[in-house]
């Protein structure tokens, strides 16, 4: 039998019996409302789950990116430090060789002034990092005395050694900055890099005082070419986008081969 529902109407009770199809629609309508609510809650839950998952994935991605960036920077730092240490050891060995040779010359020439030129030639021939060597002496305070022979031996582009007496130059060497500064270098000192107009190359001076009985009587001045320094920096296995450079004691860029930030030639008073 079909289901019947008694409904009140106009103060009377009557029996309304609908066909099974009508009753089925009534029942379906009553049960549909909670089903729509359930679907709405499920949709909202899925949306929040999706948003939460997106936020979690974003946070994880940012964390991984930060960790990867830190690892890359640390690796780059270690690689750069290793390259700098390698280049530094090579550079230090070369400049130590120049300093030792200049100090030895100062000791020998202090007692053998007459042998200054052949000693300079032998040392320059043995050390290709040097471009020139000078042994200059302070002139006598008596203007009537002859100027002391002050030889300067330099290397030409073809490797031939040539010499001249600086005492015969038009500009007196004893008034130049490199000579005045060198008289205070009892233990040896490096002077500022300069670009030699006559030799068309960048050089740097190493000066050491010639002492006799505890008094400075002259200086040994070594002109050191920076070509070997360019070669050392250029031979480093640098990663793409990296460049190497050398700073002087004032923090100025002295050498930076093969870089858009290559150093401009320094200006200073050249030795010879």
Instruction: Please tell me the predicted confidence (pLDDT) of residue 263.
Output: 52
Whether 121 is covered by a domain: the verdict is yes
List, in order, residues 6 or more apart from 211 with CB less than 8 Å away: 106, 110, 186, 217
Q: pTM of the full predicted structure?
A: 0.62
Instruction: Please tell me the predicted confidence (pLDDT) of residue 268.
Output: 42
How many other C-beta atoms are found inside a 10 Å radius of the C-beta of residue 241? 5
Check residue 112 and report its DSSP letter: -
Q: How far apart are CA 194 and CA 187, in angstroms?
A: 22
Whether 74 is covered by a domain: the verdict is no
3-state helix, strand, coil in the chain (%, to 5): 45, 20, 30
Q: How far apart are CA 41 and CA 135, in angstroms?
A: 97
Domain at 148, CATH number: 3.30.450.20
Whether 180 is covered by a domain: the verdict is yes
Q: How far apart are CA 111 and CA 109, in angstroms?
A: 5
* Segment-wise mean pLDDT, segments of 10 residues, the chain, 272 residues: 47 46 45 59 77 81 79 75 78 86 93 92 90 92 89 89 91 86 87 74 87 90 82 72 67 60 46 53
Whether 248 is covered by a domain: the verdict is yes
Q: How far apart are CA 38 and CA 165, in angstroms?
A: 107
Instruction: Please tell me the predicted confidence (pLDDT) of residue 33.
Output: 53
Whether 99 is covered by a domain: the verdict is yes
- Cα distance between the two ends of the chain: 128
Going by DSSP bridges, is the β-strand pair 189-190/130-137 parallel, antiparallel, or unpaired? unpaired
Instruction: Give the angle subtended at the CA of 128 by the CAs of 122 and 129, to the nearest 5°.
Output: 120
In this structure, are residues 193 and 248 in contact, taking their beta carbons and an 8 Å threshold? Answer: yes
How many other C-beta atoms are found inside a 10 Å radius of the C-beta of residue 116? 25
Instruction: Please tell me the predicted confidence (pLDDT) of residue 116.
Output: 93
Instruction: Please tell me the predicted confidence (pLDDT) of residue 218.
Output: 94
- Phi then psi for residue 37, to 5 deg, are -65, -40
Torsion of CA 140, 142, 145, 151, to 10 degrees: 20
Whether 29 is covered by a domain: the verdict is no
Q: Domain count of the chain?
A: 1
Q: How far apart are CA 91 and CA 86, in angstroms?
A: 9
Going by DSSP bridges, is the β-strand pair 246-247/201-212 parallel, antiparallel, or unpaired? unpaired
Whether 135 is covered by a domain: the verdict is yes
Instruction: Please tell me the predicted confidence (pLDDT) of residue 74.
Output: 78
Residue 136 lies in domain:
86-255
Whether 5 is covered by a domain: the verdict is no
- The residue among 137, 126, 136 whose CA lies nearest residue 101 is 126
Three-class secondary structure of residue 27 per DSSP: helix
């Amino acid at each position: 039998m079909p289901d019947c529902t008694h409904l009140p109407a106009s103060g009377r009770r009557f029996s309304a019996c609908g066909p099974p199809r009508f009753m089925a629609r009534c029942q379906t309508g009553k049960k549909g409302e909670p089903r729509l609510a359930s679907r709405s809650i499920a949709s909202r839950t899925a949306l929040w789950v999706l948003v939460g998952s997106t936020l979690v994935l974003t946070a994880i991605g940012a964390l991984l990116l930060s960790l990867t960036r830190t690892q890359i920077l640390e690796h780059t730092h270690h690689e750069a430090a290793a390259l700098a240490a390698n280049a530094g050891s090579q550079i230090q060995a070369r400049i130590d060789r120049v300093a030792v040779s200049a100090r030895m010359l100062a000791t020998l020439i202090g007692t053998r002034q007459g042998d200054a030129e052949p000693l300079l030639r032998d040392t320059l021939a043995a050390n290709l990092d040097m471009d020139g060597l000078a042994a200059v002496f302070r002139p006598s305070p008596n203007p009537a005395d002859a100027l002391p022979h002050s030889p300067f031996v330099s290397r030409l582009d073809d490797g031939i050694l040539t010499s001249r007496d600086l005492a015969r130059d038009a500009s007196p060497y004893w008034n130049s900055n490199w000579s005045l500064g060198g008289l205070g270098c009892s233990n040896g000192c490096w002077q500022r890099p300069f670009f030699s107009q006559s030799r068309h190359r960048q050089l740097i001076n190493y000066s050491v005082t010639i002492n006799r009985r505890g008094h400075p009587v002259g200086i040994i001045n070594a002109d050191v070419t920076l070509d070997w320094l360019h070669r050392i920096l250029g031979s480093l296995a640098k990663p793409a986008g990296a460049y190497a450079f050398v700073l002087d004691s004032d923090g100025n860029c002295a050498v930076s081969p093969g870089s858009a930030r290559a150093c401009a030639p320094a200006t200073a008073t050249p030795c010879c």
